[in-house]
Structure 1
Amino acid sequence: MGSARRGATDRAVVEMNESNGKSHGEDPRDAAIEWWLRRKNRAPTSAEQTKFESWLAADAGNRAAFDDISNMCGHLIDMDPARSNGLSGGRTRQSWRLPAAALVAASIAFAVFFDDLSLFLRSDYRAGTGETKRITLEDGSRVELDSRSAIAVRYSAGERRLALLAGEAWFEVAPDRSRPFVVEAAGGSTTALGTAFDVAVVDAQARVTVTQHRVSVASGGRKVIVDEGQQSAYATNGAAQPAEPANVERATAWRRGRLMFEDRPLGEVIEALGRYHRGFVYFPNPALRARRVTGIFGADDPLSALEEVEASLGLHAVNLTNYLILIYE
């Protein structure tokens, strides 16, 4: 996810106070972002270096914030193809004259591009960022793909097998007793024993929700039967959890252009919102991903949804580039 929100530029949403080297905001991460961008854009003057060192020494939190931002941005810039494809030193040095924010954005765009390319090459059907797609398969079964979701179809004479490669999909299965309908996801499989069900891969976990009849979910050496109105889940290659009652309306809200969460981890919510907007959200403090979120959001405006989440949890966001948002307390 990422966008120039709240009038932010690619440099940062904070403005340094030249007289004292501190940001107008209170959080040291804002100032750390500005210092990092300044020092990567050009070599600091003697006066700027003195101010920078004074700012670092003023508070231990300043040093920690600057180290967080430097480590994160340094890793992203290391992903830049211009620094890893054997170009001459002259061209490499020239790339460093580009604004640091542009390099970070290019690195993220590069990584996202190859992730999307890999998905494209492995899939038979996929929905792009911000779109959903409806598909009718050769046997008459119907599939609805959520945004940034993809499936591969592996039909044979004796079995109708598909793989959910990414995201979420709803399946309405055409009856055919001689050819079981099986959906692979996250190392497990779901076999239709009736009509319709939803499969989602979120935050390294697969979730199966049955909207009509029943399915059999198998993973990690365990098989469970999930009836209509129930749900099962499993971590990647982990054992399938026992079926339990599900809020079907919430689980399938994406089919109606809504995203509904009840006491879900912030990391899971960010991943779901991220399917509707290209980019990356970074947490300098990974523990924030465990914060719990409850709410209903429009899938057509993920950035507004993110702002609502920030406000409700007392968090803050900074747009480092058009492709990168930092979230912190």
Structure 2
Amino acid sequence: MPHDDSIRDEAAAWAVRTGDPAFEDWDGFTAWLERDAAHAEAYDRASLAVAEAAEALASAPANDAAIAAPRGNRRWFGAALAACLAGLAAVGVWQMGGDGRVYETAPGETRSIALGDGSTIELAGGSRITVDEDDPRFARLESGQALFDIRHDDAHPFRLEAGDDTLVDVGTVFDVRLDAENLAVAVSEGVVLFNPAQQNVRLEPGDRLTSARDSADYVLSEVPLAQVGEWREGRLTFADADLADVVADLARATGVPYRVAPGSAVQPVSGSVVVAPLRGNPAALGPLLGVSVRKAGEDWMVEAP
């Protein structure tokens, strides 16, 4: 059965992840298998390639400049070998570094992370976060989106670095989205301080702060509490959001390669979208948000009317 590139990549990532003794996301893996009949076959082939790649790496002389691909499709071997050489740093796989433990998710995937103090982090699709294992009251969001449910501790407030910004709280629930241009923070419980040493903005339940990453300026607005972290329930709601941000959020949540068409990036869009149906029918986004959606190669281009 033929498989497109996205299924190949996802299968290779799952093959490496499930081979990790610390792997725990069996519910996520099962859901991925059940989403498409092609996933099981792709996973079997990727698992074989990963196993053979690891065997080849283990048996090769240390000074070998190259390792011959084992039997089977070299394209599959290449993907699996790249994942192995990355030290299990492929999408969704944790790795240990000098700065802590790194977690990543593929677009369309979510992951729950339990911290040592009883707090939890829900990582959205297409996201990356570093957690300090020695200090569960510190983390660094590298990119993407996450919902934080932090245990109350006045003596040791939780600190999150997101780009060049710092968020501090003493026990709350808040959502953070970080992309190349903007940081967005929304609070549903407790209090969060935005950059206490600089702007020192106090965010309470129902507050949303948006800040450009290249500026000290920020904008405060209101957000319904039910919409904070609603992506965990498979829904995204937008209110006069730039189409570029909407498309990026949808691509991260669905795993569909949505792209904003040139000239449409700042078009304001409003609406509420259930994510799951879009995975099987990406074009269904059009009538939901009043936009044009068309296939362009491997991508789905989204354009303002």
**TM-score, normalised to structure 2's length?**
0.60
Tell me which protein shows more helix as a share of its residues: 1
* C-alpha displacement of 1:205: 0.9
Structure 1 unaligned residues grouped into runs of 5+? 5-109
- In the other structure, the counterpart of 1:182 is 159
Quote the Cα distance in structure 1 between the aligned partners of 2:104 and 2:148.
Answer: 14
1:149 counterpart = 2:132: no
Identity %: 23
Quote the Cα distance in structure 2 between the aligned partners of 1:193 and 1:229.
Answer: 17
Q: Secondary structure at the match of 2:166?
A: strand
* C-alpha displacement of 1:147: 1.7
Structure 2 unaligned residues grouped into runs of 5+? 6-81
- Tell whether the 8 Å contact from 1:214 to 1:227 is kept in structure 2 after alignment: yes
Q: Secondary structure at the match of 2:249?
A: helix
1:140 counterpart = 2:121: no
1:222 counterpart = 2:199: yes
- In the other structure, the counterpart of 1:302 is 278
| Structure 1 stretch displaced more, 136-145 or 119-128 | 119-128
* Bigger relative contact order, structure 1 or 2 (CA pairs below 8 A, ≥6 apart): 1
- Tell whether the 8 Å contact from 2:141 to 2:162 is kept in structure 1 after alignment: yes
* C-alpha displacement of 1:300: 1.8
The alignment of Structure 1 onto Structure 2 pairs a total of residues equal to: 217
Q: How does 1:163-312 map to 2 (within 5 A)?
A: 163-202=140-179, 204-218=181-195, 221-239=198-216, 241=218, 243-278=220-255, 280-283=257-260, 286-303=262-279, 306-311=282-287, 312=289
- Cα distance, 1:189–1:237 mapped onto 2, change above 3 Å: farther
Quote the Cα distance in structure 2 between the aligned partners of 1:233 and 1:314.
Answer: 24
Q: Secondary structure at the match of 1:288?
A: coil
Quote the Cα distance in structure 2 between the aligned partners of 1:132 and 1:314.
Answer: 27
**TM-score, normalised to structure 1's length?**
0.56
- In the other structure, the counterpart of 2:107 is 129
- In the other structure, the counterpart of 1:61 is none
- Cα distance, 1:315–1:225 mapped onto 2, change above 3 Å: same
Quote the Cα distance in structure 2 between the aligned partners of 1:228 and 1:282.
Answer: 32
CA RMSD, 1 decimal: 3.5
* C-alpha displacement of 1:174: 1.7
The amino acid of 1:178's aligned partner reads A
- Cα distance, 1:247–1:305 mapped onto 2, change above 3 Å: farther
- In the other structure, the counterpart of 2:51 is none
- Cα distance, 1:234–1:172 mapped onto 2, change above 3 Å: same
- Cα distance, 1:316–1:230 mapped onto 2, change above 3 Å: closer
1:325 aligned to which of 285, 297, 300:
300
* C-alpha displacement of 1:286: 2.0
Quote the Cα distance in structure 2 between the aligned partners of 1:292 and 1:308.
Answer: 19
The amino acid of 2:151's aligned partner reads A
